[in-house]
Amino acid sequence: MKLRMKMSALLTSTVRKAAVFGFAAVALSVFAVSARADNLVTNGNFEETSPIVGAGNPSSSNGGQLTYNLTATGWTNAGYTFLYTSAAAAGAGVSSQYGPNDVAMWGPGNGSNNGFNASPAGGNFIASDPAYLAGSISQTITGLTKGDTYTVGFYFAGAQQAGYTGATTEGWQVSFGSETQSTPILNNANHGFTGWFFDSFTFTANGTSDVLSFLALGGPPGVPPFALLDGVSVSAPEPGSATLTLTGLGMMGALLLLASKKLAIKRQ
């Protein structure tokens, strides 16, 4: 009787230890995953900007044309691209290389009840014309491990420049290193707004640093279409929850096996 009680107590104690160690293993795995999942993009929400000071470059609290009125920290722009500080700012318009406050998006503030709103990321966002002076907005991502996979996530939408008429299409071509993928092309009604969507792509790093770029897609020319972008992130993919669970269960199984061996020795 006493032997059975000792065996039961030993088994209970071992199971408790296994549970503790299993939980700890899962917690450490989650912590390691969180560390790997940090966003590697600089200024992915486009909140950090600097004005370009000089003759013919009027500043505006609503935003402005990139490389003409202002720059977005961390990003290089090669297209006809604008930064807006809010949905209201997009309706009011900002200055471009062609004149003051002449580029606005159709929305409730200027005669189109299309529900135009800022992205779920909030604050500033980018608008790029895919059919005029097309060029990418890009930055070099560092701290990569060659051969590892990384996930590029972002919000995107389609809009139309105020003062013009006609249906449009919008989307984005996303390149990371030597790989390129594209979002679905959004169909946008006359004076319309598509609403915001989230998309993500997985890429394999070519080296310890790769160039991430976004090139606006769509048309037709002269209408003109504008592809919107916000909330850009680059992170290492997280392993599935099943993997984490198996890690903990594996630890528990190993401890239980050790306990059974101890019990067998006690019986002898």
Q: Take residue 108 and report the two structure tokens written for it.
A: 């409730």
H or E segment and range at residue 126: strand 125-128
Asked if the model's pLDDT at residue 215 lies above 60, the reply is: yes
Q: Select the more confidently predicted residue: 28 or 156.
A: 156
Region at 130 (left for phi over 0; alpha for psi -120 to 50; beta for the rest): alpha
Mean pLDDT of 217-236: 96
Asked if the model's pLDDT at residue 127 lies above 50, the reply is: yes
| pLDDT band at residue 53 using 50, 70 and 90 as cut-offs | confident
Spell out the alpha helix ranges (H) of the chain.
2-36, 87-92, 241-267
- Per residue in 159-196, pLDDT (tens digit) is 999 999 999 999 999 999 999 999 999 999 999 999 99
Cis peptide leading into residue 130 (ω within 30°)? no
Residue type, 166: G
pLDDT of residue 28: 36
pTM of the model: 0.77
Stated length of the chain: 268
Average pLDDT of the chain is: 82
Nearest to 77 by CA among 147, 137, 161, 17: 137
Asked if the model's pLDDT at residue 264 lies above 60, the reply is: no
How many Cα atoms occupy the beta-carbon half-sphere of 232 within 13 Å? 27
pLDDT of residue 154: 98
Dist. CA 175–CA 154, nearest whole Å: 13
| pLDDT band at residue 227 using 50, 70 and 90 as cut-offs | very high
| pLDDT band at residue 211 using 50, 70 and 90 as cut-offs | very high
The answer to whether the CB of 49 falls within 8 A of the CB of 71 is yes
pLDDT of residue 10: 42
Mean pLDDT of 80-103: 94
Dist. CA 79–CA 180, nearest whole Å: 18
Q: Give the strand pairing for 149-160 and 197-204.
A: antiparallel
Instruction: Show Cβ contacts of residue 226 under 8 Å, excluding neighbours closer than 6 positions.
Output: 82, 105, 127, 128, 129, 130, 158, 159, 160, 161, 170, 216
pLDDT of residue 260: 53
Q: Take residue 21 and report the two structure tokens written for it.
A: 């160690």
pLDDT of residue 55: 58
pLDDT of residue 167: 98
pLDDT of residue 263: 44
Cis peptide leading into residue 100 (ω within 30°)? no
**Kindly report the CA angle at 214 between 210 and 218, in degrees rounded to 5?**
155
Contacts 24+ apart (CB under 8 A), 240-244: 243/29, 244/26, 244/29, 244/30, 244/33
pLDDT of residue 16: 45
Mean pLDDT of 92-114: 93
Domain 49-235 fold: Jelly Rolls (2.60.120)
Residue 228, classed as helix, strand or coil, is strand
- Per residue in 246-258, pLDDT (tens digit) is 444 455 455 444 5
- Per residue in 17-46, pLDDT (tens digit) is 443 334 344 343 433 343 345 899 999 999
